[in-house]
Each structure stands twice: as structure tokens, then as C-alpha cells.
Amino acid sequence: MSTLRQLLNLIQTSLATLESTCASEGLPIPELNEPFTPQSEAFRANPTVALAAHTASAAALQLSAILSPPQVSLYHTVAGHYRSAAVRACLESNVTEILREAGPQGLHIRDITAKNGQDPNKLGRLLRYLALNHVYREVSPDVFANTRLSSMLDTYKPSANVIADPDHKYDGTIGLAALASHHLDEAFKASAYTWETISDPQTSHSGDPTASAFARAFGVKETLWQFYEHPEEKYRQRRFDAGMHGVQAVQPPDAILDIYDWKRLSPGSSVVDVGGGVGTSAFPLARDFPALKVVVQDRPDVIADAKKLWSTKMPEAVDSGRVELEAHDFFNAQPKRDVSIFLLKQVMHDWSDEYCAKLLKRLREAANSSTKLILFESVMPYACHDPTGDDGKGVPGAVPVEAPAPLLANFGAVHEAGYISDMTMFVMFNSQERTFHHFERLLRDAGWKLTLVRRGHGDDAFLQSMEAVPS
Ligand SMILES: C[S@@+](CC[C@H](N)C(=O)[O-])C[C@H]1O[C@@H](n2cnc3c(N)ncnc32)[C@H](O)[C@@H]1O
């Protein structure tokens, strides 16, 4: 059978599964022209529906790559920066808020620009360009409306407020628009310097966090965190914080409870959350497993914030000593001993290999023979079939569920989020997301043996957990 026919079959069988499962479970299938609501995404929580939707989408994208003129497909990627530029202009000129208030019949570009002060000829072309990819739609000539995609850029504030007070546009929002605004500013500009950064002998092979494309683009020799400390960067700092709040909000709050069988730990066992922030993961652990000793380690200013938070959320836990909030630099010798679990959640992806190696060795030095290391990170799939799992002798969970042939094994651009995160880590921090084999190598070199990958939250989940023991 031709590849085209195989792709078409995948679309047909996936859609049949999707429609019948949604019908029997009473799950609505989203409409492109209606605004996003959490309920409109509820169907994806059903694993059968999610797999069918992702398979059909991946097949449709591959079909388009075959049937579109190659220069058109290529330029979809080559000209990606124009789409970013256009969406940035619409986001920052508050088009989505204006169109939300206009409703599904849309608004003429003259009336949009009467509100946001833009040139109707220029903004109208940007909107029409984005409508090619269903971000906004042109309802009738020069009349535009939101779609499911553009509605995700909504701060849900009245347009008059965000137009009058752009400095506080993203404060107190759910964060997705803030995250997009951050990506379209710092990360977008940084990404333009990717080649300059990896071709300059000063930075090409460096693991230094200040050797990033971001530092080059902004003409600084500092990390993003140091950059945000400048008084004139307060707006960007607040916008970043709002964006991170949005990222946290879409992660299941109690995911930490599912990544290990915490019941197995005997009373008094100690769990050290290294780089644990203000204790987001430690809260559910301390709440559900009061017999454990939970230590949260982070930088001094983060621990100061953590102390304030815990004093209102769970003061007893800190007062009794079963939760300890400890300022500690994870590149220095680890002060804790007799630790059952060292937890590293979304810490490794902030650092290049040389820094991760340092941090892993500090933990290994403090480990005893029964200590476990749990990493909670994105484990990046290859874009091809991974033969690791074929003999069944490898590490359980090392290979994710792969897409059926002839699709790309990782579902291609349908699962792009992890790869976007990898690019973000690269341009902003000179760091990265890693494949299973990369994690395995890093751990092995630092004296750890990777024994298990847990994919409890589904294969398209953002984070997977990995277990390692001293080797
Ligand atoms: C991406 S955040 C992850 C926080 C937390 N594990 C979570 O998942 O919510 C990385 C954390 O590493 C902390 N960090 C960065 N450098 C550190 C260092 N040298 N020592 C200790 N913590 C550090 C940051 O302050 C931040 O809280």
C-alpha cells in the first residue's frame, strides 16, 4: 500500500475510534471557531481518544508534507520567525481581548485599530497571515474573529484595561498569554543568535550558563536570572513569573505522589527535594505521608519565600521539624546523610552536562547503598524507532509508546512541546532536555545506575520519572 493510503487509513481508523468513544462517553469534540475552554479539552483525558487524536493529527501533518510543494513545506519552517513576529504584534496590541468582546461575528480591522491605536493596513495583514494557520480567522473581508487557538492568548481582562495599563497586563492572569509574551520577546530574540552562538569558538562547546544565545542577543554576560535582577527588567521578571505560574497550573499538582510508591518508605525515612523551589512537591508529600522527614533545599532567597509560604500553608510541619526548609547550593557538598530519596524535579534541564555531572556527584557522595535518586524530567524520544526496547532486556519504560508506521515514531510535531522546551533551554540557559540514553550516560559517569523510567501520566505527558541507585 502506498504511504499516502497508509496515512489516509490511519486518519480514518483514528477518527472512527475518536468519534465513537467521544459519543459513548459524552465528550464534546472541539470546534476550531469556538474559544478554548477547559471543558473543550476534556476529551483528551481519555487515553484512547488522546491516542486517536494524536495519530490522526500526525498523519495529517505527514500527508501535507508529502502533498504540498516542497518549497511551501520548507518555508513553513524557514519563515517561522514571521509567524512569531505577527503573533507577537497581535498579542501585545491586545487583539485577542478586543475580539473576545466582539464575539463570533468578529470586528472590522478599522474598529480593532480604533481601539488599540495600530495602523489598520499593517495589523490587518498580520491578522490575515496568522489566519492561514487558524490563529484568528477572517470572517469576511477585513473582519476578524478569534479561534480556539487565538483565544489561548487571552488574559481575560477587559480590553480597555490592558490597553490602558500594558505594564500590568499579565499580572494576576492564568499565565499562558504571559508565557507566550515571554517566548516572543526574550526567547524569540535569543533564537535569532543560535548560529552565531554555536559557531563562535568562545561559546560553541561551552557549558557555561552565560554562554547562551540569550546573553549574546541581549549583549550581556549573565544568566537570565541575573538579567532579571536589573531594576529596569522588573516587567520582564513579573511576566516570566506569571508564565511559570501558568506552566505549573497545567501540571497535575499532586503528580509527585504517583512517581514513587512512597508507602514503601519506613517511618522517619528522609526525602530531600534538591532544588525544590518553595516546596511545591513537598506539600503533597508532607500532607499525605506525615511519617516522612521531608527536606526542601534551594537558594537562600527561594528558601526565605518558602518559609513564608509554609508558615501559612502548613506551619505545624515546619515547627515539628518533619519538614525542613534549607538554604543549600547544590554544587557544594550535600549536608544530608542517611537519605532514602534524593528528588530532582526539573533541575537537570536547567544545566549543561558539566554542571549536571557536578550536582549528581555531590548527591552520590552523600548516598548510602539504599539511597535512591528520583529524577522528574522530560525524557525526550528520538524521531525514529528506538531499538533499545526490542530485546526486552533494557531498563523498563526506557522506550515510549511509538506511533504506528509510517508516522514518525515520536508522533512528530504533534508532540512538539518537549522539543520546544529543549530549544528554550538551549537558547536561554545553554542547557537542554535529554534522551533516556543521555540521562543514563550522565548518571553512570556520576556513579548512579538508572533502573526504571515511569510513564504514569501517559506518553505525551510533559514529565516522566526515573529511578537510579548507587552503582
Ligand atoms: C526549574 S526550578 C524547579 C523547582 C522545583 N524542583 C519544581 O519542580 O517546582 C529549578 C530550581 O533550582 C533552583 N536552583 C538553581 N540553582 C541552584 C543552586 N545552585 N542550588 C540550589 N538550588 C538551585 C532554583 O532556585 C529553582 O527553584
pLDDT for 300-348, tens place per residue?
989 999 999 999 999 999 999 999 999 999 999 999 999 999 999 999 9
Q: Supply the DSSP symbol for 187.
A: I
pLDDT (tens digit per residue) in 362-383: 999 999 999 999 999 999 999 9
Question: Which among 54, 182, 328, 349 is annotated as catalytic?
Answer: 349
Residues 6+ apart with CB under 8 A from 464: 376, 377, 378, 379, 397, 453, 454, 455, 457
Boundary (domain end) residue, out of 58, 74, 90: 74
36 CA → ligand 1 middle, Å? 32
Tens digits of residue pLDDT in 345-357: 999 999 999 999 9
Please identify, among 26, 56, 74, the residue that sits at the C-terminal boundary of a domain. 74
The parent domain of residue 98 ranges over 79-168
Query: What percent of the chain lies above the pLDDT cut of 70?
Result: 99
**For ligand 1, mutation pick of 237, 254, 295, 298 (most atoms within 8 Å of CB):** 298
Atom of ligand 1 nearest to the CA of 280: 9
- 137 forms beta bridges with 145
Are 40 and 133 in the same domain?
no
8-state DSSP, 108: E
Q: What is the mean pLDDT of residues 93-112?
A: 98
CATH code (residue 98): 1.10.10.10
Q: CA neighbours within 13 Å on the CB side: how many for 465?
A: 18
203, 232, 250 - which closes a domain: 250
Residues 142 and 182 grouped into a single domain: no
Let me know whether 228 and 327 are in one domain: no
Mean pLDDT of 240-253: 84
Q: What is the pLDDT of residue 461?
A: 67
CB of residue 277 inside a 6 A radius of ligand 1: yes
Do 61 and 94 reside in the same domain of the chain?
Answer: no
298 and 411 assigned to the same domain:
yes
My answer on whether 200 and 267 are in the same domain is: no
Report strand pairing: 434-435 vs 448-454.
unpaired
Q: Indicate if 145 and 194 belong to the same structural domain.
A: no
CA 47 to chain centre: 20
Residue having the nearest C-alpha atom to atom 11 of ligand 1: 275
In a shared domain, residues 412 and 427: yes
Rounded to whole angstroms, how far apart are CA atoms 16 and 416? 25
Instruction: Provide the percentage of residues in the chain whose pLDDT is more than 90.
Output: 92
- The answer to whether residues 159 and 235 belong to one domain is no
- Position 239 pLDDT exceeds 80: yes
Backbone angles phi, psi at 409, to 5 degrees: -60, -30
Say if ligand 1 is within 6 A of residue 381 CB: no
**What confidence score (pLDDT) does residue 457 get?**
55
Do residues 352 and 463 both lie within one domain? Answer: yes
We report the CATH number of the domain holding residue 429 as: 3.40.50.150
Ligand 1 touching residue 298 (CB < 6 A)? yes
pLDDT band per the 50, 70, 90 thresholds, residue 198 = very high
Check whether residue 326 and residue 346 sit in a common domain. yes
CA–CA distance, 137 with 42 (Å, rounded to integer): 24
**437 flagged as catalytic:** no
Name the closest-CA residue to atom 26, ligand 1: 277
Rounded to the nearest 5°, which phi and psi values hold at 435?
-80, 170
The rounded Å distance from CA 226 to ligand 1 centre is 14
Distance from the alpha carbon of residue 298 to the mean position of ligand 1, in angstroms: 6
Q: Is residue 100 in contact with ligand 1, taking CB distance under 6 Å?
A: no
* Helix boundaries (H) for 320-416: 353-366
The amino acid at 302: V
Tell how far the Cα of 225 is from the centroid of ligand 1, in angstroms.
12
The C-alpha cell at 76 is 513553513
Ligand 1: atom nearest CA of 278 is: 27
Mean pLDDT across the chain, nearest whole number?
95
Q: Give CA torsion, residues 332, 338, 341, 343, to 10 deg.
A: -20
Q: Of 210, 254, 347, 354, which is best to mutate to test ligand 1, by the most ligand atoms within 8 angstroms of its C-beta? A: 347
Q: How far is the CA of 451 from the centre of ligand 1 (A)?
A: 24
Answer whether 339's CB lies under 8 Å from 367's CB: yes
Number of domains in the chain: 4
Q: What is the distance in A from the centroid of ligand 1 to the CA of 328? A: 10
Asked if pLDDT for residue 459 goes beyond 70, the answer is no
At residue 2, the pLDDT reads: 96
Same domain membership, residue 185 and residue 105:
no
Reported pTM = 0.93
Encode pLDDT of 396-411 as tens digits. 999 998 999 999 999 9
Confidence check: pLDDT of 252 > 80: no
Q: Which residue has the cell 510508591?
A: 261
In this structure, are residues 234 and 452 in contact, taking their beta carbons and an 8 Å threshold? Answer: no
